[in-house]
Amino acid sequence: MAMSTRLQRLIPPAVMIAALAAILGATDLVAGDYLQRIVIIIGINVILVASLNLSNGFTGVFSLGHVGFMAIGAYAASILTLPVHLKAVNLPDLPGWLQGVAMPFLPATLIAGLIAMLVAFAVGLSLMRLNGAYISVATLGFLVIVQVVLVNWDQFTRGARTFAGVPAYATIWNVWIWAALTVYVVWRIGASAFGRDMRAARDNEIAALSLGVSVIRSRLLAFCMSAFLTGVAGSLWAHFITSFSPKSFFFTQAFSIITMLVIGGLGSVSGSVIGVFLITVLSELLRNAERGFDIGALHLPPIYGASQILMAVLFVLVIVFKPAGLMGGREIDIRGILRRIGASRRGKGAA
């Protein structure tokens, strides 16, 4: 009866991947265009929020500037994939060696992630020495700097004008492969020596130091990995939306990611996923309500900004009543659930 532990270890991820593939396959085949778009947005948000959790949740370095890495990823990847004939029109001042480049999606996305990571490393070397609110304010400053650079670096970004013509490479499949990969990486790091270093440094910096944990190094590791994945999400988003401008990556987006993270629960990967689903679906529903609709004879006028108001209200409610978020830093125990299902089935078989 007893299975080898190695095989047993593989069951939960196998079940999850199979379930995810089934859902995505069904969406891909059956669902309409609108629903497919929502599934893609959820996937991208999962990457953004889960990777933000790596930094803000595990190490307690509460970054408000991660959208800056998303912007870097989006612009870097789009410059690389933009077809050559569009480059000549939209980005005529690009340096010669870039003019002729039109990369496939995957290498462009990887390079975009790496660039975001390098920037995170350079910024993090000094920022990770700060603590608490100082880090948050400094990362916010980073976001503003990225914004200013994007608006002024016409040669690469078209400045404040719309960057258009990005090929629509993002699909349900490539987005969700990255999303699954991100969730796995964040979860795995969390349940490893690296994750324990990060949480130790967050829980009690002095005690962590006196156990030999290099607080700065472990924060920097989380920050850089997180920036890489956020940069990847930026690339995916750019190739989904296909046209954007610097203001797509500013306070509204930053606030939206942080809301999902906090509502799901800092430090919990499953919390991140739940937060993303909840907020994305609710704000999509409300986006429709914003246009105004009829219930029987009752006509509701359009309520502009309803989804953002809801997000803000939810954010405040969670902070007041459940400050640790819906999951409170814990994880959903997939193994436990599977074991219970298995046990009840065996119970039925015996009866």
Partner 1 sequence: MDREEGCLLEIDDLSKTFKGLHAVENYHLRLSPGEILGIIGPNGAGKSTVFNLLTGHLRPTRGSIRFRGQDITRLPPDRIAALGIGRTFQNIRLFASMTVLENVVSARQLKERSGIIATLLSWPSFHRTEQRLASEATENLGLFGLADRAGKAATSLPYGDQRRLEIVRALALGPTLLLLDEPTAGMNNQESMFVLDLIRRIRDQYKLTIILVEHNMPLVMQLCERIQVLNYGQIIAEGTPEQVRADPKVVESYLGRAMEDSKDAEARNG
Q: Which residues bind partner 1 (CB under 8 A)?
A: 6, 9, 185, 188-189, 192-194, 196-197, 199-200, 202-204, 206-215, 221, 267, 329
For partner 1, the closer of residues 150 and 269 by Cβ is: 269
Sign of the CA dihedral with 178 first, then 195, 119, and 150 last: positive
Nearer to partner 1, 58 or 169 (CB): 58
If the CB atoms of residues 3 and 207 are measured against partner 1, the closer one turns out to be 207
Q: How far is the CB of 84 from partner 1 (least distance, A)?
A: 36
Encoded tokens for 97: 């060696």
> How near is the Cβ of 188 to partner 1 at its closest, in Å?
6
Q: How far does Cα 314 stand from its chain's mean position?
A: 19
Q: Which residue has the tokens 């209200």?
A: 313
Instruction: Compare residues 52 and 166 and give the one whose CB is closer to partner 1.
Output: 52
Residue 193 Cβ, how far from partner 1 at the closest point, in Å? 4
Our CB check for partner 1 shows the closer of 58 and 156 to be 58
Phi-psi region of 303 (alpha: psi -120 to 50; beta: other; left: phi over 0): beta
Closest CB 234 distance from partner 1, rounded Å: 22
Complex with partner 1: residue 210 or 301, whichever CB lies closer: 210
